[in-house]
Amino acid sequence: MEQDFVRLMQQLAPDLAAEFARRALVLERIATMAPVGRRQLAARLDLPEREVRADAASLKEEGLIDLNASGMMLTAKGQDILGTVKAFTHAMHGFTELESKLADAYGIGKVHVVGGNADVDAAVLQDVGRMAAQRVRAMLQNGNTLAVTGGSTMAATAKHMQSSTPLNVMVVPARGGMGRTVEYQANTLAAEIAQRLGGHHRLIHLPDRMDAAAMQEMLKVPEVREVIDRLQRADVILHGIGRADESAQERRLSVPQMRKLEEGGAVAEAFGYYFDKDGEVLLAASSVGVDLNRLMPSCQMIAVAAGSRKAQAIAAIMRKYPHAALITDEGAAKAMLALTQQG
């Protein structure tokens, strides 16, 4: 319905439609960044400051925003129309149609696209994280177990996770610890998300890689067994997706492992697994974490990844594993759709 209205508006009054869309976007960004100054907002939207000032003045005159020394923020009246404004800007930029096409092409339950390209504008990653946090919170129910992976995208998601009332969920890491920045590790993010939701968490106090004999010994420890069992019975799995080449370098894989990935045409990494373009596993570089073959049939997977450079990696995972939701950005979404149109 919104898309039909947008098409009609663009045909009847294209100049008015563009102005309407810009003002709606300004209102939406004020809600996201509040309190925010006009100069800062203009820079974030890549718009002339005079246009943002004029739009802000109009919005204030209509009683939709307040402006004080700390910056601009929405009034109660502005909050009341925010949902409709978001739907309009989404349709105006073609994201509603893009989401539908992407969901159909890859068999994804629901696709959510935010504007921009994280490869060009680092701030887009925060928008993706904010959207992911909202979607995850909407899917979770009391009593659920949520498993999360690590990485910068997951860190952005954790930062924006919130719940108006405490949610009785158990949050567990989807893999063991590894030699990356501690604030990006799955253990750290599981604890942060649980705290922000008002739930509980368990940690995996094991390195990311262990040999089979050592792993069997550690599973005899009740605390370790409990976390691994909870992980395999997760109701929701929230994970990022990386490029195989970048992940392999970060983890300093051995020369034979690197050669295997290169020969197999590896394009993606998730959960410590490396995949080819069809989503087939080429290498399991992690032995402490989720076993994709043992997940509950009812488990809902949510992927969060952004940037056009990750399009092939995201596409590989989506082709093989059913996902309830994908949260991404405009850059990756358009590149993924282009991949489906290649001979």
The CATH class, in words, for 95-340 is alpha beta
pLDDT of residue 228: 82
Tens digit of pLDDT for each residue in 227-252? 888 888 999 999 999 999 999 988 88
Read off the tokens for 78.
């502005």
In Å, what is the CA distance from 112 to each residue of 49, 90, 128, 138, 271?
29, 10, 9, 13, 22
Map residue 269 onto helix, strand or coil. Answer: strand
Strands 300-304 and 145-148: unpaired
Q: Which CATH number is 2-92 given? A: 1.10.10.10
pLDDT of residue 215: 65
Cβ pair 196, 163 in contact under 8 A: yes
What is the 8-class DSSP label of residue 118? T
Within 10 A of 145 (CB to CB), how many other CB atoms are there?
23
Cβ pair 232, 147 in contact under 8 A: no
- What is this structure's pTM? 0.86
pLDDT of residue 253: 87
Cβ pair 333, 113 in contact under 8 A: yes
In the predicted model, residues of the chain with pLDDT beneath 50 are none
Does the fold of domain 95-340 match that of domain 2-92?
no
Tens digit of pLDDT for each residue in 9-46? 777 777 887 888 889 989 988 988 889 999 999 988 88
Q: How far apart are the first and last CA of the chain?
A: 33
Residue pointed to by tokens 């420890």: 221
Read off the tokens for 149.
């992976």
Q: Angle at which helices 14-33 and 76-92 pack, to 10 degrees? A: 130
pLDDT of residue 250: 85
pLDDT of residue 211: 62
Domain ranges of the chain: 2-92, 95-340
Tens digit of pLDDT for each residue in 241-285? 999 999 998 888 889 999 999 999 999 999 889 999 999 999 987
